[in-house]
Amino acid sequence: MKIVIVPSGFKECLDAEEVALAMDRGVKRFDQSIDTEVIPMIDGGEGFAKTIINLKGGDLIFKKVTGPVGKKINSYFGVFEENGERVAVIEMAAVSGLKLVPRDRRNPLKTTTYGVGELILSALDLEVDRILIGCGDSGTSDGGAGMAQALGIQFFDKRHQIVPIEGGKDLLKVDSLCINHLDKRLEHVPIDVACNWRNILCGEQGVARVFGPQKGATSKQVEILSSALEHYADLIQAATGLDVRSLPGSGASGGLGAGLLAFTNATLHPRFDIIMNFINIEEKISMADIVLTAEGSLDFQTPNGKIPAEVARIAKRNHIPVIAITGTIGKGAALNYQAGIDAYSSIIQKPTSLEQAMKKAPKWIEESTESVLRQVAIGWAMAQRKSLKKVSI
């Protein structure tokens, strides 16, 4: 038997490689003879830069920059060379990710992407030819305004005083913005962005309403943030002529996609279109008898471009069954059956605290993987029994 293991990470808990190795141990607990192919997947979030730099044999550059709550943190980006070009790889999660926001300070009205802009400037200082940015696992919802300010965009209030953008709420103080001082080097360095193509900035399906609660926003804060981002879209259109409200990917990473579109002339890509250039999984999946995938929380958002659904889409083209191991099963999880996931199972074994679940996650992933395969084995045994009965008749 051949099993291909293609998980994402468990946000704020385990990266994709750690999840994949735990699943592989679970398979081997069931049967040591099973041939496994382990392919940790990235989606633009945690692990994006390190994975690509490892694959390309590049270098990590460590920098002290502004974190999501305004304090200096140690972060990094990567640089590799390919086809005569120097390419910088920036991971939004490594500078403004949710994991970097203390739980008691999770208010997306007060978190910033300023550090993302600082990393872009550092990459430009190294005279790179191209920049690749992974948008995912963000802890911010400032529309990329913090990043824009780091790059030279100026935000003014009605008295024409500069407004420091320290979070999404500050956008409501802005009356106009000026693009004249934007770093000119951005005109000559293409930026490609791997993001969730279905996330948009504004409206009922805008980033404030869909993702604000995940980042700690109350219902009242969601409405404030939604109004702030609507106003921000008006400011961008007045200054640049670009309407970013519902452009594909504009809502990625709390609206960072919109900021990148408006101020850096970036090109946004569905994240798997870029990632598949670095990790070729289709051929490996096509050789599998079963595909195992994983995600920290399986819910109604999973079919919208997240790793388990994308893996299932590839597997279904090859008529291969897909089972997902998940930390929690959320609202609308059954939609994943339509997305091509044939079965899913939570690792949670008993009522427990979040802290305990995160601590036990590697062991529980291993045990859940073994349990799932034992259930599959029962089905195979029943099918074989039925087949033997038919033959004997």
Looking at residue 158, its pLDDT comes to 96
Q: Which residues is 290 bridged to in the sheet?
A: 3
Q: What is the DSSP letter of 162?
A: B
Looking at residue 390, its pLDDT comes to 65
Per the structure block, which two tokens stand in for 13?
């808990």
**What pTM did the predictor assign?**
0.83
> What CA–CA distance (Å, rounded) separates 94 from 73?
10
Looking at residue 354, its pLDDT comes to 84
Rounded (10°) CA dihedral 371, 373, 379, 383: -150
Burial bucket for residue 135 (CB in 10 Å: 0-12, 13-18, 19+): buried
Q: Which of 13, 73, 76 is nearest to 48 (CA)?
A: 76
Q: For strands 35-38 and 59-66, give the pairing.
A: unpaired
Contacts of 384 (CB under 8 A, 6+ apart): none
> What CA–CA distance (Å, rounded) separates 245 from 235?
11
> What CA–CA distance (Å, rounded) separates 130 from 125?
12
Write out the chain's pLDDT in tens, 393 residues: 899 999 998 887 888 889 999 999 999 999 999 999 999 888 888 889 998 998 899 999 999 999 999 999 999 999 999 999 999 999 999 999 999 999 888 999 999 999 999 999 999 999 999 999 999 889 999 999 999 999 999 999 999 999 999 999 999 999 999 999 999 999 999 999 999 888 999 999 999 998 888 888 899 999 999 999 999 999 999 999 999 999 999 999 999 999 999 999 899 999 888 888 877 788 899 999 999 999 999 999 899 878 899 999 999 999 999 999 999 999 999 999 999 999 999 999 888 888 888 899 999 999 999 999 999 999 888 888 877 766 555
> What CA–CA distance (Å, rounded) separates 64 from 73?
5
Q: For strands 72-82 and 85-91, give the pairing.
A: antiparallel
Whether residue 5 contacts residue 349, with contact meaning beta carbons closer than 8 Å, is answered with no
Whether residue 15 contacts residue 47, with contact meaning beta carbons closer than 8 Å, is answered with yes
- Total residue count of the chain as it appears in this document: 393
Contacts of 163 (CB under 8 A, 6+ apart): 155, 156, 157, 170, 173, 174
Whether residue 146 contacts residue 206, with contact meaning beta carbons closer than 8 Å, is answered with no
**Quick one: how far is CA 365 from the chain centroid?**
21
**Quick one: how far is CA 43 from the chain centroid?**
5
Q: At what angle do helices 16-30 and 354-392 cross, to 10 degrees?
A: 40
Q: Which of 131, 44, 15 is nearest to 79 (CA)?
A: 131
> What CA–CA distance (Å, rounded) separates 115 from 187?
20
Looking at residue 216, its pLDDT comes to 85
Q: Which of 304, 351, 347 is nearest to 324 (CA)?
A: 347
Looking at residue 391, its pLDDT comes to 59
| Alpha-carbon separation of residue 355 from 22, 102, 297, 351, 378 (angstroms) | 19, 14, 15, 12, 34
Q: What domains appear along the chain, each with residue ranges and CATH number?
A: 2-40+281-392 (3.40.50.10350), 48-274 (3.90.1510.10)
Per the structure block, which two tokens stand in for 241?
């002529």
